[in-house]
Amino acid sequence: MSRLAAFGRFWWEFVIGDDWLVAVLVAAAIGATAAFAHSGMAAWWLLPLAVLLVLWLSLRRAIRST
């Protein structure tokens, strides 16, 4: 069980890293891009904007915790 937990922890740290909010917001932004694109609207601008927001929020969280 502890090996399974260690394996899970390794992948969590590898992919999600220090701030889980980044992964959640990236997933939400990609979902919104897909929804926009499939309804026929221009969707290319959404992810760059999301990156700006995600970086800002994540940096503020990191600074608050120092």
Q: Kindly list the residues in this chain that would bind another protein in the complex (CB under 8 A).
A: 14-19, 22-23, 26-27, 30-31, 33-34, 36-38, 42-44, 46-48, 51-52, 54-56, 58-59, 62-63, 66
User: What are the two backbone dihedrals, phi and then psi, of residue 45, each rounded to the nearest 5 degrees?
Assistant: -80, -15
Nearest residue (CB) to another protein, 4 versus 63: 63
Nearest residue (CB) to another protein, 2 versus 66: 66
Tell me what percent of the chain is helix, strand and coil, each rounded to the nearest 5. Answer: 80, 0, 20
d(CA 42, CA 33): 9
Name the minimum Å distance from CB 66 to another protein.
6
